[in-house]
C-alpha cells in the first residue's frame, strides 16, 4: 500500500480493511476506488482512462469470489470511526432507481416505476453532520423488484410490512440503531421523506439517542380535538419563517423560498385496519414549513414533519426544519453512491 499516491489515502481508509479473501483483491479495490473518485460523474471507461485500467476494473467486478457486502462493511466501519467526536449525526434515507433499460443484455434487473423500464432500486442511508458535511454510508440496500409483485398495491393493507418494500425504512433504522451501539456518544436522527411515513417505523422501539424526523404523507388520525394531522397543525399560528435554497427541478431554475413555520405536539392513533394487533398510540411533535407565496406556475413547498425530537421553542422548530433540508444532500449523492454499489452487486 505504501506505493500508492497521496490522493489514495482516503481509499485506504475506506477499503483497506475489506475482507475479500486475498490481499491482492483488497489492494485492487483501493486502486480502483482511487481512480473512480477522481472522476465520479464519468462512465467507467472514461473514469478509468486507459484500456489496461478498464480491463482490470472489469475483471474485479466480474470476480464472483468478491462479496459486495464486504466492501460496504469496510466503508461503514470507516464512517463510524468518523463519528467519534461528532455529537449529532443525521442519518438521511432515500431511495433511487438505476435505469438500465438501454442495456437489454443485462441480467438480474427488475421493473422500475415506469412499467417499460428495467433496472435496480437502491435505498441509501447517508450520514451527515448538521452542517451538511457528508460522513459516509451507514447502510445501503440494492434490489431488483420482482415482476410478480407489480400491481399488488391494492392488497398492501393485508400484507405484513416484511413482505413490502416499506421494510427498507425499518432496515435502515436498524442500521442506525447498530451505529448507536458502536458510537454511544453520538446522537442519531433518522431522516426520511414521505415514503418513510410508515406507522411501524414510528412504533418501533428505539433506545435513547436515536430519534426520527419523517415527512408526513398520510393525514392520519390523532387523539387531538381536530382528529387529523393536517387540521391539528393548521390550527396553530405561524410562529417563525425559514428561508431555504431550492435546487433546480427540471425546467424550474433554483430559487430562494420563504416558509412559514408552525408546530404542535400530537399523538398518532394506530391504523384502524390493524386493531387486532393492539398497536400503541405514538406521541410525536409536528412541524410544518409552508411556502405561502410561491412564484407563479410553481408548486409551493410544504413540509409537514413528524418527529420524536421535542419541539418546545421557535429555535427547536427551526432546527428540525433545517435538519430535514439536509435531505437534498442524499438526493445529490445518490447517483454516485448508488451506481458504484450496484456495479459490484450486479457483477457478483
Residue 298 gets the label, from left (phi > 0), alpha (psi -120 to 50) or beta, of beta
pLDDT tier at 161 (50, 70, 90 boundaries)?
low
pLDDT surpasses 70 at 289: yes
* This prediction's pTM: 0.86
pLDDT tier at 333 (50, 70, 90 boundaries)?
low
pLDDT surpasses 90 at 327: no
pLDDT tier at 297 (50, 70, 90 boundaries)?
confident
User: Is the four-CA dihedral 256, 195, 180, 26 of positive or negative sign?
Assistant: negative
C-alpha cell belonging to residue 203: 412504533
DSSP 157: G
Average pLDDT over residues 105-120: 90
Q: Considering only CA atoms, which of 73, 87, 70 is closest in space to residue 130?
A: 87
CB atoms within 10 A of CB 276: 6
Q: Dump the DSSP string for 190-239.
A: EEE-GGG--HHHHHS---TTEEEEEE--S--BBSSTT-BHHHHHHTSPP-
pLDDT surpasses 70 at 230: yes
pLDDT tier at 340 (50, 70, 90 boundaries)?
very low
Q: How far apart, in whole angstroms, are the C-alpha atoms of residue 246 and residue 241?
A: 15
- Quote helix, strand, coil % in the chain, to nearest 5: 40, 25, 35
Q: Considering only CA atoms, which of 175, 167, 208, 213 is closest in space to residue 194?
A: 213
pLDDT surpasses 80 at 149: no
pLDDT tier at 179 (50, 70, 90 boundaries)?
very high
Within the chain, residue ranges assigned H as helices are 9-15, 23-38, 44-48, 51-61, 68-81, 167-182, 199-203, 229-234, 314-325, 327-347
Predicted pLDDT of residue 39? 84
Which domains occur in the chain, in start order? 6-66 (1.10.246.40), 70-339 (3.90.350.10)
pLDDT surpasses 60 at 26: yes
Amino acid at each position: 500500500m505504501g506505493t500508492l499516491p497521496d490522493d489514495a489515502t482516503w481509499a485506504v481508509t475506506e477499503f483497506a480493511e475489506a475482507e475479500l479473501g486475498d490481499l491482492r483483491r483488497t489492494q485492487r479495490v483501493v486502486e480502483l476506488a482511487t481512480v473512480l473518485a477522481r472522476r465520479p460523474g464519468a462512465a467507467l471507461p472514461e473514469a478509468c482512462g486507459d484500456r489496461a485500467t478498464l480491463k482490470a476494473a472489469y475483471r474485479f467486478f466480474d470476480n464472483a469470489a468478491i462479496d459486495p457486502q464486504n466492501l460496504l462493511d469496510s466503508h461503514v466501519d470507516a464512517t463510524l470511526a468518523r463519528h467519534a467526536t461528532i455529537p449529532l449525526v443525521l442519518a438521511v434515507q432515500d431511495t433511487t432507481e438505476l435505469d438500465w433499460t438501454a442495456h437489454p443484455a443485462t441480467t438480474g434487473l427488475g421493473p422500475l416505476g415506469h412499467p417499460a423500464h428495467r433496472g435496480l432500486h437502491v435505498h441509501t442511508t447517508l450520514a451527515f453532520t448538521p452542517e451538511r458535511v457528508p460522513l459516509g454510508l451507514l447502510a445501503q440496500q440494492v434490489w431488483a423488484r420482482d415482476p410478480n409483485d407489480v400491481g399488488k398495491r391494492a392488497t398492501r393493507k393485508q400484507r405484513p410490512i416484511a413482505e413490502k418494500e416499506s421494510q427498507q425504512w425499518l432496515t435502515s433504522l436498524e442500521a442506525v440503531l447498530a451505529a448507536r451501539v458502536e458510537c454511544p456518544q453520538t446522537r442519531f436522527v433518522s431522516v426520511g421523506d414521505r415514503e418513510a411515513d410508515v406507522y411501524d417505523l414510528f412504533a418501533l422501539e428505539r433506545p435513547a439517542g436515536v430519534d426520527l424526523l419523517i415527512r408526513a404523507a398520510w393525514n392520519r388520525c390523532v387523539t387531538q380535538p381536530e382528529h387529523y394531522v393536517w387540521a391539528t397543525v393548521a390550527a396553530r399560528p405561524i410562529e417563525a419563517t425559514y428561508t431555504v435554497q431550492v435546487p433546480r427541478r427540471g425546467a424550474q431554475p433554483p430559487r430562494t423560498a420563504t416558509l412559514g413555520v408552525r408546530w404542535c405536539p400530537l399523538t398518532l392513533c394506530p391504523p384502524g385496519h390493524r386493531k387486532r394487533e393492539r398497536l400503541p398510540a405514538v406521541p410525536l411533535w409536528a412541524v410544518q414549513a409552508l411556502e405561502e407565496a410561491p412564484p407563479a406556475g410553481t408548486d409551493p413547498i410544504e413540509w409537514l414533519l413528524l418527529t420524536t425530537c421535542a419541539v418546545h421553542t421557535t429555535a427547536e422548530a427551526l432546527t428540525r426544519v433545517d435538519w430535514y433540508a439536509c435531505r437534498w444532500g442524499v438526493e445529490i449523492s445518490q447517483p454516485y453512491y448508488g451506481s458504484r454499489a450496484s456495479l459490484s452487486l450486479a457483477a457478483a
